[in-house]
Structure 1
């Protein structure tokens, strides 16, 4: 079977039976939500100037966003098991839109941090609801569907940061972030208009949700589940640390302009537009282990080479190598979603994502301390070592799989 035949089958499976329009609406909203978060790294210099922030404090601001986006995913997962995912996704886009309005009108660092926390909590309602919604909509093809939404998330992360960079430089940083607000409102309306409840699973009670949460924690003691959760944590730690300061690193250490840094940052996510659907399809066809090793190995080389080069074209190549790691989520989260029963899928994903993302939120702060201490290059070497550990863990994963 050739590549074109496989692609045609994948497209028909995703778009057929009227599912495609619903997938498109969910994916576009996800792209806006993710793109909005990636605008923060490119406006860090403006926030430093306006609010007098050091790199460590700026890293803390991003950590607040990631931390609250993490801790809300457990209750978000429980809500996804008990209520309509469509409603949760709509509420998520509305809260984030309001929070962005508070961020751009902040008059002090305290208000800025508080608005950022609300932003994170609003964002946290979307990821699990999206996964459980797609799991029910695309039985047997979750990896591909999830890969598409993740790729659309990367389109947002590719397009929005460069646009924000131009708007911030030409007008004001508030415009560079604020232009996303009306787009989020429209995305929420699109989800309401195009998506309908796709659930057949039994609603859980509060007591059952608590029992499910405890059952999930117990399941994480299973070697396969524990390994996969550990891999997801390390990946998120690396990803958050890298994305928070890469534009700043390019301008302050590599000497490129802010506009070029924004384009390179967007290019990092542009490669993910291709990588994530391929990774999701690879998971569906060849399984978790081979998919992860193929995705992560180039990123190890990219992190090692990054401190050694200054040529802009070599930087493009290294950025592409590092961006292959973006396919990790399509594999790990599909694996975890398949590992849990329908009744506790949302709760299970919520527990895992809350634990991993909350712990990984320390990454931007730690990396900010390293950067403030004058060890920016050494920080990326450390990320290479951690990524090599992740590849090693993947080799040692138990054979048991859920696909």
Structure 2
């Protein structure tokens, strides 16, 4: 289906902050900020949630894995559906699910309701980012790079906001109150997209022929990706990174409180550093990758993250640990923009969008198991032992990237 009706009239074409294109870019980015805030605020709240709901580290990790796993599963079909239907249909449906899911979390009094809220949030979040990025592509051609820069940065703003929101809420209310402003913003964005978006709503037609086409399309994508040896290794390297990232995103504040005796506010500050530092290093890493080679910069980023994490685990003292967290954040967050470009280089041009959605499903899905691993090991041994295991993931991922660089060019030949 063509999305030409989503484009602007000639008098307001490709404005970043005003006109039709600017309004939709800003509101879609605000939606991504709210989603990231709502998903990530759980991390700095987690020690309080665990105490109040009387749940174990493993139960907490499983809730994170459920949320991020369902989010991963939505990546591939949501992109395909937003092509077959309209962007607006998928975006408003995802936001509606998110409003319900965050409302459930705001009223959760036991673990089963907490899990249900996490599941609904994961499903809703899975429908949003791919159609949102497709909408940005529809609206911008000449200024697409600038538009994507603004839109993707809104996710890092959400992570930093989550840390501040957690500190503020715990100072004046219970942890559940953190979800009230998130629900308000999600509902506002859904209404804005409904009122401002020029697209119509279309419902999916689940006839046998379309289901057979979808199954064939999925099989073809899997065969193409898994049949490419270089892509298989790239996917393994990215999955090991994602496992580490999800583990840190889920449990870093709790680790800092339980293993390093940080007060809750300072632990939330360490969590915020992931995203503040990330917003600063991502553009720099991307430009360095273009200049010096993606594999070299990716390997250097992982080496930096590995050394910093080893330092965090081995030192004591607030200043040293905090410095280590900042360096760890720099290494960890420099990796995605370089590796995503590395992956895109390796995809055939004709199937790039579908291949990206499929690979995101794989590496985010495998990465979502990281929090269950941390919860299990922290419950049986300690948070220090659990985070020490992440060093192996970073080392193996880095070794694969170096090996790929030495055994071939930066990317497979396209076609």
TM-score band by shorter chain is 0.7 to 0.9
Distance between the aligned counterparts of 1:22 and 1:223, measured in 2?
Answer: 40
8 Å Cα contact 1:93-1:122 kept in structure 2: yes
- Cα separation, 2, equivalents of 1:342 and 1:25: 30
- Aligned counterpart in structure 2 of residue 328 of structure 1, from 330, 335, 340: 335
Pairwise CA distance, 1:345: 4.2
Q: How many angstroms apart in 2 are the aligned matches of 1:143 and 1:224? A: 28
* Alignment partner, residue 357 of structure 1: 364
Query: Paired residue for 1:54, among 52, 56, 66?
Result: 56
Unaligned runs of 5+ in 2: 1-13, 200-208
1:382 maps onto 2:389 in alignment: yes
Q: Is the 8 A contact 1:65 1:119 kept in 2?
A: yes
Q: Would you say how many aligned residue pairs link Structure 1 and Structure 2?
A: 386
Match of 2:377 among 358, 367, 370: 370
Normalised TM-score (structure 2):
0.83
Moved more, 111-120 or 162-171: 162-171
Corresponding residue number in structure 2 for 1:270 = 276
Among 218, 223, 228, which residue is 1:218 paired with?
223
Instruction: Give structure 1 stretches of 5+ with no counterpart.
Output: 1-12, 198-203
Quote the offset at 1:115 in angstroms.
1.8
Assess, with a 3 A threshold, how the Cα gap between structure 1 residues 129 and 207 changes in structure 2: closer, same or farther.
same
Map of 1:51-90 to 2, 5 A cutoff? 51-90=53-92
Task: Give the deviation of 1:222 after TM superposition.
Answer: 0.8
Change (3 A) 1:386 1:143: farther
Instruction: Give yes or no for contact 1:69–1:121 (8 Å, CA) kept in 2.
Output: yes
TM-score, normalised to structure 1, is 0.85
**What is the CA distance between 1:148 and its match in structure 2?**
4.2
Q: Is the Cα contact below 8 Å between 1:77 and 1:348 reproduced in 2?
A: no
Of the three residues 391, 398, 402, the one matched with 2:398 is 391
Deviation at 1:166, TM superposition (A): 2.2
The residue aligned with 2:38 is: 36
Where do residues 234-253 of structure 1 align in structure 2 (5 Å cutoff)?
A: 234-253=240-259
Aligned counterpart, 1:288? 294
Partners of 2:15 and 2:333 in 1: CA distance: 21
1:310 equivalent in structure 2: 316
Please tell me whether the aligned partners of residues 147 and 281 of structure 1 are also in contact (alpha carbons under 8 angstroms): no
Q: Note if contact 1:132-1:345 (Cα within 8 Å) is conserved in structure 2.
A: no
Instruction: Deviation per CA, 1:345-371: give whole Å up to 9, x if none.
Output: 443233222222222222111111111
Please show how residues 148-227 of structure 1 align to structure 2 within 5 Å: 148-192=150-194, 205-220=210-225, 221-227=227-233
1:5 corresponds in structure 2 to none
Question: Is the 8 Å Cα contact of residues 213 and 347 (structure 1) preserved in structure 2?
Answer: no
Deviates more, 1:362-371 or 1:82-91: 82-91
d(CA) in 2 for partners of 1:373, 1:69 = 28
CA distance in 2: counterparts of 1:14 and 1:241, whole angstroms: 38
Change (3 A) 1:124 1:146: same
Post-superposition CA distance 1:70-107 (Å, at most 9, x none): 12223223213322224322322221121100111123
Q: Which has the higher contact order (CA 8 A, sep 6+)?
A: 1
Task: After TM superposition, give the deviation of residue 246 of structure 1 in Å.
Answer: 1.1
Distance 2:55 2:192 in 1: 38
CA distance 1:175–1:374, change in 2 (3 Å): same
SS of equivalent to 1:53:
coil
Contact 1:55 1:371 (8 Å CA) reproduced: yes
